[in-house]
Structure 1
């Protein structure tokens, strides 16, 4: 009997977000007849795509025990760079995309250098980058949207009559994140650093180098998210993705990651992003005020952090 209770508790600890998603879907399907329509469900997936991609990159950082507040601003800056280099500078869109990706990775590397070598707390370093990246986006664009290349805007289209391309991109990026975390040395190093940085260093892991890789990946994923968002809007906007960094962090935490590091999964992050998207979509269908929606989302995030805190206390 004790073993069954332990197994049940372990299952809930590992799959609590998935169970919560199932309960949420069932509840909303009973409250709204439109919720389970194919069109609405695919819309939920498209709405979750940008947050999920940002959250996959944030998962790497949170697993190491850090935090990245700059992903929303880096996403906007990367999209602005792509639109400007292709539309104003006249570069071919594939080359402009590579330049955009390089900018996102560079932002991540600057974050990592401030943290690993400048010894700044991740909160301060990435908060500074949040302001820098947003400011650069405004400077480059002069505060106005820039039209995206036609070839890139197809990322906002659908495959066939139903499947949104952003959903496909989200799934691909999720698989990449899962492979990095579960199948590579870099992923194992992330968990080791988050579990105990000093022990990881003594075991031979070059912590500073791994942090460079971690934050560079976060910047790269932010670039992809920014391009997907701009493709849906058909233009790169300097104020785009404002506040998305909070949704990304919330998705990671709701998905079961620990803010103290050493714990987190790509699948959990994916489920966390879906929970946020489903919740917002359901509240819209139920005609709940946008002001109250913010209250509900805040309560969900607080509960997720509380569960993580109680879980860590129980393990200690």
Structure 2
């Protein structure tokens, strides 16, 4: 019993141990790592991935997957930027409907939520595999982004919008505050609400959850909608930080999100994991990226290393179950 308890404790501490060892190794190899500026830089960089990963965690907890978050991020960011700068033209009435900063932000979040809702609707209504549905949305949302922007970036969005991604509040980067709110809301949802219990129940055994009276279809639609919303929030932060809505924004972001979720201990089989674990996983990914850059590792090798880390996390997840 004692050995089993110790083993379980070590399994839970694996991500934290990995982060400690990584930080120790990078700090020895680079004197620029353990600096205040670099610490804020890491937190600012991982804010977007944490937001996306929070939504991805909810999806994976229900035994699903969402490959479309990177494309939804790009489209929502482009819509927010486009509405803020150009508004909506109504040629028949010779009218232009302008948008305030708040209006553009809300519109972008609504767009992200709508695309996420469509993912959930297609998955539950037609019983289509989540992998296929979200892969299709990945392509569709990217196409929508290209159509909306006509393949060109939308620049010059103003200082007020730029504050979202580059501003500071009470000595902390504003994106970190946004991410903290998203994380705390997600923690409350998963730990303190019936919806959170339903999410874990569906991931643990969907048939049993259905027989116990849980509306599994509605829960899944909510989860995918939330994933779209968190992707849209990430899109606003990326667009604000660059002061530009790039048509190719968010490429491969879904891979970093999945990596953060898996490294953080959430099981790809569903029903097991936590938001805090995902945050830790995102920090590990961020520290790894930052360390590889500081050590002047080739970008090509960086991809190899990140892929190896993801593979190792999946292998450890499977091994721990046996």
On whether the aligned pair clears a TM of 0.5, the verdict is yes
Structure 1 ranges of 4+ moved more than 4 A: none
Cα distance in structure 1, aligned partners of 2:301 and 2:170: 34
- Is the CA contact (8 Å cut-off) linking 2:81 and 2:239 kept in structure 1? no
Is 1:253 aligned with 2:267? no
Task: Answer yes or no: is the 8 Å Cα contact 1:49–1:166 preserved in 2.
Answer: yes
Deviation, 1:150, is 3.3
- Residues in 2 aligned to 1:248 and 1:255: alpha-carbon distance in whole angstroms: 11
C-alpha RMSD of matched pairs (Å): 1.3
- 2:17 aligns to what? 19
Distance 2:290 2:320 in 1: 29
Counterpart of 2:76? Answer: 78
> In 1, Cα distance between the equivalents of 2:178 and 2:290?
21
Partner secondary structure for residue 15 of structure 2? helix
Where in structure 2 are the equivalents of 1:172-187 lying within 5 Å?
A: 172-187=181-196
1:92 CA displacement: 1.4
Q: Is the 8 A contact 1:77 1:137 kept in 2?
A: yes
> What SS does the corresponding residue of 2:303 show, helix, strand or coil?
helix
Deviations 1:112-139, CA, capped at 9 Å, x for gaps? 0110011110000000111111110110
Q: Secondary structure at the match of 2:65?
A: coil
Which blocks of at least 5 consecutive residues in structure 2 are unaligned?
88-97
Cα distance in 2 for partners of 1:161, 1:145 equals: 32
In 2, are the aligned partners of 1:93 and 1:149 still within 8 Å (CA)? no
Residue deviations 1:140-159, cap 9 Å, x none?
11111113353221012242
In the other structure, the counterpart of 2:132 is 124
1:233 matches 2:233: no
Do the aligned partners of 1:53 and 1:224 also contact (CA within 8 Å) in 2?
yes
1:94 match: 102
By how many angstroms is 1:196 displaced?
0.6
Structure 1: gaps (5+ residues): none
Could you tell me whether the CA contact under 8 Å between 1:76 and 1:134 is conserved in 2? yes
Distance of 1:160 and 1:48 partners within structure 2: 17
For residues 266 and 91 of structure 1, the distance between their equivalents in structure 2, rounded to whole angstroms, comes to 34
Residues 1:57 and 2:65 are matched in the alignment: no
Query: Hey, what does 1:279 align to over in structure 2?
Result: 288
Q: Secondary structure at the match of 2:283?
A: helix
Per the alignment, residue 34 of structure 2 pairs with: 36
Q: CA deviation at 1:161?
A: 9.1
Q: Is the CA contact 1:72–1:222 (under 8 Å) kept in the aligned structure 2?
A: yes
Deviation at 1:160, TM superposition (A): 6.0
Q: Tell me what 2:310 maps to.
A: 301
Mapped to 2, the partners of 1:149 and 1:98 lie a distance apart of 17
Q: Distance in 2 between matches of 1:17 and 1:193?
A: 25
TM-score, normalised with respect to structure 1: 0.96
Aligned residues: 311
Asked if 2 retains the 8 angstrom alpha-carbon contact of 1:83 and 1:149, the reply is no
Q: Residue 67 of structure 1 is aligned with which of 38, 50, 65?
A: 65
What is the CA deviation profile of residues 6-29 of structure 1, one whole-angstrom value per residue up to 9, with x for unaligned ones?
A: 222111222211121111111111
Q: Deviations over 1:178-221 (max 9, x none)?
A: 11111111111110000010000001100000011100110110
CA shift at 1:273, angstroms?
Answer: 0.6
Aligned residue number for residue 133 of structure 1: 141
What is the alpha-carbon distance in structure 2 between the residues aligned to residue 266 and residue 58 of structure 1? 10
* Distance change >3 Å, CA 161–CA 311, structure 1 → 2: same
